Structure 1
């Protein structure tokens, strides 16, 4: 598999590849470490520094440090302070700092996950991540206990990718919960997860998951390579990652899938793709992506094959309506009136009597108006947003017709176009249709169907040149593969094939159990 990546992004990444951070070790004197820590955080009141003595060791002070609001104080009090102050009497009273450190690590702490840190930057990051630091005077290492306890949003239903039939859980902003939602569905030791931290300031935790043996090794390495080359101050959402790792910048088409549905992520993992999870956002990225994936819904695999096929074909139809309906109207009324039935032509001509604008300007006014109403409906408070968009469209459309600015036929065409864009399951590909719609409108106004045909050729050629992590964007139509057509326009029954429907990963055959006794008998 060959990969094509944007050279401009590589150049930006390479400027920072030679920067090396100098690792600063911890000091043996805890008072020096406390002073340095206060200076690091600007003497913030959020940092809780608790100095205490471990058991009977009155001559060997220790300190516990955590950030208020990020660490769970009940965890700190019960599993750290109580364990070290009240239940450490079996430790020798005059033990050295080294022996005391090892004894605490092995016997005293009742936390499930305890690590040792030697570097200052890792200590600061652990505090900012909600962990609690334990340092003992005279020893230049620190113990770190995971005590994260901030408030997290509960698992709720998806808001942007709803289905009638299927699971109702959605990803949250917690990467740990999101990983759990995936592992709950794939109980296999071959499901692998690797993590990186990106962002000089935010230090956002990024995880990418794949199934070993199904996902191709060069795809996994390419994802890892692109993530490692990201150098930025902060990563706040998956869209930030998407811009850094996509193959082509100058294109209206999305090159990665984003989803908030765990079942959709699991389905793509089983097809050999890589899922990228970003801490702080409920939307995960899926790589690579092909054009036809954006018309597939998880519900397709929960309904009967005939119903799923009908709905999928309907999605392709509404995509073309959303993309081409205003352009077709402009071309027919401006250049190709002879293609219309005579009664319909008379009605349209009568409606356009007195309209001061050509069809293109008429369509442009209505399209821009609908885009403004759509955006206003999203930004307005939820209680009034839907009412504003619907009422606004009806009132403005009817007022424009009565004022003689817009013809009734144009209102119908633009209304159908707007509704069709909402029927596309992927918001990203719907935006692509909305952008390209204006280009097709301009080409139809200049040369009718000939201009639309030339524009369509350019768009298809551009799509054919796109790659997503080395996978052709129009696969499996270009290059054509007959064996992979069973899950593109049609959704064939599950029993039709014993092979996993995969266009990206390695062939994953469902192995039937063999009867060893009957084989031995033969």
Structure 2
């Protein structure tokens, strides 16, 4: 069939598709599809003719590469060829026979639904489903035979685990939901799908445990997702920026992970998961500050080991945030706090350095950030080697040239290594940003500036909320019953209740023995 050449569709016309009924003439529907899609090469139209019809008896429209052509060729065409000769040409008499035909298709394919308007037709066809037109019918049928190449379920490269499941999410939405359902085999695990994006028509699925998650949180998440009016959603970050509470805070109030076991664990605590088609990261709301320091591996080891490692992460977080500023403040304003031998050693190292400690620290931190970013963007085969070798060479050369002191190189190195102990990458970025602010306060006001900046930071954190829930819970407000899994983790046999701040209803995890 000749492909008509038409002008591109504008946004206004795109919105007018919804509610526009299909024509009863197959040729008219096919011409509409070819016209609206610009005669694109991947649009496949296959017609089935019959002696009983003056027009095509049926037609199938689908997108090449997104629908399973093998099923169309070997099954759908077979059913249509066997069934069409028995359908009356009179369109007023064969509605029941059409329903029988749809049931025959349904018995083999498993998912046949009616399409009644143009908006639905394009939404499902461009999602990979095949559209079946029957002569004399003012509606069509859609067959869910989507099939396209995607990445297999592999081990996560960003969130590594020594003990625990190795699988991670992929870019395919239905695979991601199945990975969670494999871990939670309960009918109370409910899914709601919302289409967001006037052009991309991206499927966004909200997943929660009914009866455990707070109804207020579910309603809030649903309303925020439905309120998004954007032309396209290509990654979960599009959704995260739209639904987070404090849009001007540098701290994330929406948790994201690519581990199915982490999502399942937080669903059991009453949280809501948001899965975006096309991205391997799942959003979780509401979230608390302590969630970014916790790791799913904490729950696969003995409680004593997990508690020590978690405390180590908190200490490392303080080191990565405050160590350079403390060094600047002490060496600039509070030298009397140092032992005499250490003070003499530091003074000897800095004797030939032309810059104050603040300039040293800023220069070294910026250099390390550049090397870290370069290592991330370069090919994996050489990226890590370049970042490590570059740090060693530049640091050694800077000390030998007398630009920075050896002590400053040690401080910056320990600070950088401590940053990597934070499991959530989204939390390490605010720490790196605040590090420069604290260095400025230390250079200006010494320890007094650090203390005032730290109290200001605490006040800001305590003022944040995530979907209406306190961001610093259970530390502030202090909830004694939930300290079992905050700074430390109590043994599993002592964890009887779910957190009250994120769930409502059945709080019992297990029976007391």
TM-score, normalised on structure 2? 0.93
Say whether 1:101 aligns with 2:94. no
Q: Does 1:493 align with 2:498?
A: no
Distance 1:359 1:302, change over 3 A: same
Q: Which residue does 2:388 correspond to in 1?
A: 390
Instruction: Tell me the distance in 2 between the aligned counterparts of 1:264 and 1:202.
Output: 29
Instruction: Verify: 1:25 aligned to 2:21, yes or no.
Output: yes
Tell me, in whole angstroms, the C-alpha distance in 1 between the residues paired with 2:112 and 2:409: 65
Instruction: Look up the match of 2:431.
Output: 433
Residue in 2 that maps onto 1:72: 68
Q: What are the residue-to-residue correspondences of 1:440-459 with 2, within 5 Å?
A: 440-459=438-457
Equivalent residue number for residue 230 of structure 2: 232
Q: How does 1:84-233 map to 2 (within 5 A)?
A: 84-85=80-81, 87-88=82-83, 91-92=86-87, 94=89, 96=91, 97-109=94-106, 110-233=108-231
Corresponding residue number in structure 2 for 1:48: 44
Alignment partner of 2:273: what SS? strand
Contact 1:88 1:108 in 2 (8 A): no
Per the TM alignment, residue 108 of structure 1 is displaced from its structure 2 partner at its CA by: 4.3
Query: In the alignment, which of 252, 255, 262 is matched to residue 254 of structure 1?
Result: 252
Q: Is the 8 A contact 2:496 2:511 kept in 1?
A: no
Cα deviation for residue 488 of structure 1 reads 0.6
Shift of 1:22: 4.9
What does residue 318 of structure 2 align with?
320
| Residue 100 of structure 1: how far off its partner (Å) | 3.9
| Cα distance in structure 1, aligned partners of 2:105 and 2:151 | 33
2-side partners of 1:216 and 1:414: how far apart?
44
Corresponding residue number in structure 2 for 1:508 = 507
Alpha-carbon offset, residue 385 of structure 1: 0.3
Flag the 1:412–1:93 CA change in 2: closer, same or farther, 3 A: same
SS at match of 1:63: strand
Q: CA deviation at 1:147?
A: 1.2
Report how far residue 53 of structure 1 moved.
3.2
Distance verdict in 2 for CA 1:404–1:385, change over 3 Å = same
Tell me how far 1:512 sits from its aligned partner: 5.2
Q: Is this contact kept in 2: 1:238–1:281, CA < 8 A?
A: yes
Matched with 1:3 is none
8 Å Cα contact 2:272-2:286 kept in structure 1: yes
Aligned partners of 1:91 and 1:103 also within 8 Å: no
Distance (Å, rounded) in 2 between the aligned partners of 1:505 and 1:124: 39
Deviations 1:119-148 (A, max 9, x none): 101101111111111111221100100111
**Contact 1:487/1:501, CA 8 A, preserved across alignment:** no
CA deviation profile, 1:268-300 (whole Å, cap 9, x unmatched): 000000000000000000001111111100010
Question: Contact conserved, 2:422 with 2:428, CA < 8 A, in 1?
Answer: yes
Deviation at 1:497, TM superposition (A): 3.3
Looking at structure 1, the residues matched to 362 and 421 of structure 2 have their Cα atoms a distance apart, in angstroms, of: 22
RMSD: 1.9
Q: Which structure 1 segments of 5+ residues have no match?
A: 1-15, 514-522
Report the counterpart of residue 280 of structure 1 in structure 2. 278
Aligned twin of 1:7: none
- In structure 2, the partner of 1:245 is 243
Paired residues for 1:460-499 under 5 Å: 460-499=458-497
What is the distance in 2 between the residues matched to 1:412 and 1:53? 79
Match of 1:365 in 2: 363
The 3-state SS of whatever aligns with 1:487 is coil
Question: Which residue of the partner structure matches residue 82 of structure 1?
Answer: 78
Which protein has greater RCO, CA pairs closer than 8 Å, 6+ apart? 1
CA distance, structure 2, for counterparts of residue 472 and residue 88 of structure 1: 61
Alignment partner of 1:88: what SS?
helix
Measured at CA, do residues 108 and 21 of structure 1 come closer, stay the same or move farther in structure 2, by a change above 3 Å?
closer
State the distance in 2 between where 1:297 and 1:247 align.
24
- The count of corresponding residues between Structure 1 and Structure 2 is 495
Q: Secondary structure at the match of 1:348?
A: helix
What is the SS of the residue equivalent to 1:486?
coil
CA shift, 1:58, in A, is: 4.9
Is 1:255–1:288's contact at 8 Å kept on the other side of the alignment? yes
Q: Secondary structure at the match of 2:109?
A: coil
Q: 2:17–2:118: 8 Å Cα contact kept in structure 1?
A: no
Question: CA, structure 1 residues 377+347, in 2 after alignment: closer, same or farther (shift >3 Å)?
Answer: same
Q: Cα distance, 1:23 vs. partner?
A: 1.7
TM-score by length of 1: 0.92
